[in-house]
Structure 1
């Protein structure tokens, strides 16, 4: 049994009322999930304040309360711990409660705007192929060896994450590869974890609805590297203008990867086609199944991490050449009429530009590029007109449509997107709110060897509308439309 006093290591306590020499059965940040003997940590969230549920938590069996503001009346027999920051406190407590799981595995974190999922997923596949039992924490799914666990966030909350890492360690995983989102870093979800290594992909405008400024977004990403121990390795993208900045203050061993300059992990693209990439990696020529320049960067990051983890470079490149990427990342199907359909998670202007530039480079002649794209509701509104303009600049035809409107009206989101279009762009686009109808229209526009990009949702199997997640799979809809062409 775990004593409360034993899980308070590194927690910044301001005030304690009651005994810490009590047994605790678990930690909860959601008062609805409380069981007898749990510690309830009251967190001031974006949508609600956990301090409002302290009395309910005690009624549900909580024996200890962690809070930033002490309640006006304290109940007899309950331990109250006042802390400076509840999110930071629960991260340290969860790591101790679950027996410091990150110390029992080699934990590698991946951060950046684009590429996190592909890098983490390919690392998981690579080390599995190299004979290790691995864990994966990603936007698409969490995985313990062959067991797939659905994912709800890019990075789970601190309690769920430490419980998952313990599960992975107990199952015999030697390596765990994890996406570290800016939200997770800022909200202390990964605080207290011991990372063996960390990777930076790139940074472009995203999540400004949350971070408010681009400078703050950069600062949060950088803080991940600032807190790495000297025993860790840190790998960054030399070709991103903030790649070196990310590693400025880290104690970890520093490495860079690049396609354009001298770096520890240097690549050069020799051939980029729908059959994959041919490139040199540190002067060794390799054929990869992944497609596009952005994946060349992802592959260099993966290669660098594998070498830093002590793997033989020849074996790593051989195994990497056999691997595919993550679901919903440049995922393509070809109709019997030779129309190429690509689904991709690109939901930032930079990601969309990268995918469309890759498609343009893959064109043999004058095939049409037809793009179906929308923007999510309740998210950064500033990128909406930029996304629409980028789609029109790099496509022959564009259909603006609904993505995950969430609580917003999809028509209002489309108006925001349309507002940024130049006069030449306005001649290229139409708006169709219904996403399925938009994909159907794109297919009807296409002829042999034309390329349809359906962007924004990638691996997602739903559309989030007014709090309800309706089943929707871009790739499946595209395949259905292709099949209908043959009837």
Structure 2
């Protein structure tokens, strides 16, 4: 069990005031007052739903060792240490890193951020590093991994305590590298503060998470904040073809590198063919066939290639391995029916840009006779502005569309669908159905599909649940699609 004196955890923390003993031994950190007890340091965070300062008194009653807060309570226990800081979340991140022995400093840690492509890039880079012979860890939306050990993922980027604990487990297991998605929430909430990255990768920036950030500018600043914090010893690799790509590099101290399919860049690729069997690219004078499909995956592959080369790997060996790799679960994942009459595609596309990319890719690889039937929804208690945009895109770029529930959470599914329906223009309205039950919507899409048609089920990808009124019921788009294919004899 770890046991460290409180003062040793505050080395990188800007302390405004402190009361009580700072040599008290700390055996655990928590941001949840219900986990309070002897030896525990409780960090009172100001969240979007509640303020942890409200729970300080109750936590202290459980024999708490220390409280980290932004406002000193009027009534204090003399046996408890109180540390006042400017930002509790930032302080917690530094303390968590120190508590676990700064594991990021013992790893080649690469962070990948952007709206779309984070999971695919992180997963591909992790697979690549392992194929190169390294022990490597992965922190992603789909799952966390320590070499082959799979650890369920609940957030794109875990909180600072769990994040550093996972990194410490990677170090203990002999990992030399770690690949992680860095979400905008993680940057804004200081979850990655205190970590040392050897490299950062930017994929793209489109409309998402405005329910949290409020404005697109705030969203951009959160992503940029990751690059602003990179040390000069790191590399910052950005997509030169995305208009926000250069913005990410404006204030970074890191080595500035770019990748591109259209503009000048450190790493260049030329698209030769984009077909149902994969991509044919020319990268730095070498023609390579890849198993991934779609122009968006050409960018993902190029980003991973660039990151690996910047880590010092041999370009030829990297390309050879990348050519044989497959994508992450739920990312443009094909599901072919038993009789091979219908092709299903399951994709996590839950933003307008991601959905447009997937549908454009299907148009590029389909035969003229193949119809595209799209099943799509939008999550509840999230950015509502994208709902009509998503429906409009689906209707314009599909032959038939079924609007359905995603994760309604605490919203009325029919209200969400009405907001989506509002984005469908009159010329497209005849090809759009609304079916609130997601399983039934997928079934109807398969029933509508003729021989060789394509059924796209978008929005949930790898997720194995559907959240309705706070309850997560088992639900997996891929498994349900397979089940319905079998039931309907497709």
Q: Is the 8 A contact 2:41 2:64 kept in 1?
A: yes
The aligned residue for residue 432 of structure 1 is 435
The aligned residue for residue 268 of structure 1 is 270
Q: CA deviation at 1:59?
A: 2.1
Q: Which moved more, 1:454-463 or 1:55-64?
A: 55-64
The aligned residue for residue 357 of structure 1 is 360
Q: Which runs of 5+ in 1 are unaligned?
A: none
**CA deviation map 1:222-267 (0-9, x unaligned):** 1110111000001000100111111111111111101112211111
The aligned residue for residue 380 of structure 1 is 383
- Partner SS state of residue 188, structure 1: coil
Q: CA deviation at 1:366?
A: 2.5
CA separation in 2, counterparts of 1:265 and 1:59? 58
Q: CA deviation at 1:289?
A: 0.7
CA separation in 2, counterparts of 1:185 and 1:426? 41
**CA deviation map 1:154-196 (0-9, x unaligned):** 0000011011111111111100000000000000000010000
Equivalent residue in structure 1 for 2:423, among 399, 411, 420: 420
- Partner SS state of residue 427, structure 1: helix
CA separation in 2, counterparts of 1:136 and 1:52? 35
Q: Which moved more, 1:328-337 or 1:100-109?
A: 328-337
- After TM superposition, the structure 1 = structure 2 runs for residues 231-242 of structure 1, keeping only pairs within 5 Å, are 231-242=233-244
CA separation in 2, counterparts of 1:169 and 1:198? 20
CA separation in 2, counterparts of 1:285 and 1:61? 65
Correspondence 1:402 to 2:405: yes
CA separation in 2, counterparts of 1:163 and 1:379? 29
The aligned residue for residue 93 of structure 1 is 95
**CA deviation map 1:24-62 (0-9, x unaligned):** 111110112234211000011111211111122122231
**CA deviation map 1:130-161 (0-9, x unaligned):** 10010000000000011000000000000110
Q: CA deviation at 1:274?
A: 1.6
Equivalent residue in structure 2 for 1:31, among 20, 28, 33: 33
CA separation in 2, counterparts of 1:337 and 1:131? 37
Q: CA deviation at 1:338?
A: 2.2
The aligned residue for residue 18 of structure 1 is 20
- Partner SS state of residue 442, structure 2: helix
Q: Is the 8 A contact 2:37 2:65 kept in 1?
A: no
Equivalenced residues, count: 487
Q: CA deviation at 1:322?
A: 1.0
**CA deviation map 1:113-144 (0-9, x unaligned):** 00000000000000001100100000000000
Q: Which moved more, 1:109-118 or 1:31-40?
A: 31-40
Q: CA deviation at 1:443?
A: 0.3
Correspondence 1:2 to 2:21: no
- Partner SS state of residue 452, structure 1: strand
The aligned residue for residue 321 of structure 2 is 319
Q: CA deviation at 1:337?
A: 4.2
CA separation in 1, counterparts of 2:323 and 2:35? 45
The aligned residue for residue 309 of structure 1 is 311
The aligned residue for residue 117 of structure 1 is 119
Q: Which runs of 5+ in 2 are unaligned?
A: none
Point out 4+ residue stretches in structure 1 off by more than 4 angstroms.
none
- Partner SS state of residue 9, structure 1: coil
The aligned residue for residue 450 of structure 1 is 453
Q: CA deviation at 1:473?
A: 0.5
The aligned residue for residue 160 of structure 2 is 158
Equivalent residue in structure 1 for 2:281, among 276, 279, 295: 279
**CA deviation map 1:322-365 (0-9, x unaligned):** 11010000001112142110000000000000000000001121
TM-score by length of 2: 0.98
CA separation in 1, counterparts of 2:7 and 2:110? 30
Equivalent residue in structure 1 for 2:65, among 63, 80, 87: 63
CA separation in 2, counterparts of 1:333 and 1:166? 37
**CA deviation map 1:358-404 (0-9, x unaligned):** 00001121311000000000000000000000000100100000000
TM-score by length of 1: 0.99
**CA deviation map 1:69-105 (0-9, x unaligned):** 1111111211101111100000011111110100000
The aligned residue for residue 370 of structure 1 is 373
RMSD (Å) for aligned C-alpha atoms:
0.9
Q: CA deviation at 1:425?
A: 2.0
Q: CA deviation at 1:68?
A: 0.8
- After TM superposition, the structure 1 = structure 2 runs for residues 73-92 of structure 1, keeping only pairs within 5 Å, are 73-92=75-94
CA separation in 1, counterparts of 2:71 and 2:132? 50
CA separation in 2, counterparts of 1:483 and 1:272? 30
The aligned residue for residue 185 of structure 1 is 187
Q: Is the 8 A contact 2:36 2:60 kept in 1?
A: no
CA separation in 1, counterparts of 2:365 and 2:140? 29
Q: Which moved more, 1:224-233 or 1:335-344?
A: 335-344
CA separation in 1, counterparts of 2:350 and 2:261? 24
CA separation in 1, counterparts of 2:288 and 2:160? 39
Correspondence 1:132 to 2:134: yes
CA separation in 1, counterparts of 2:93 and 2:455? 44
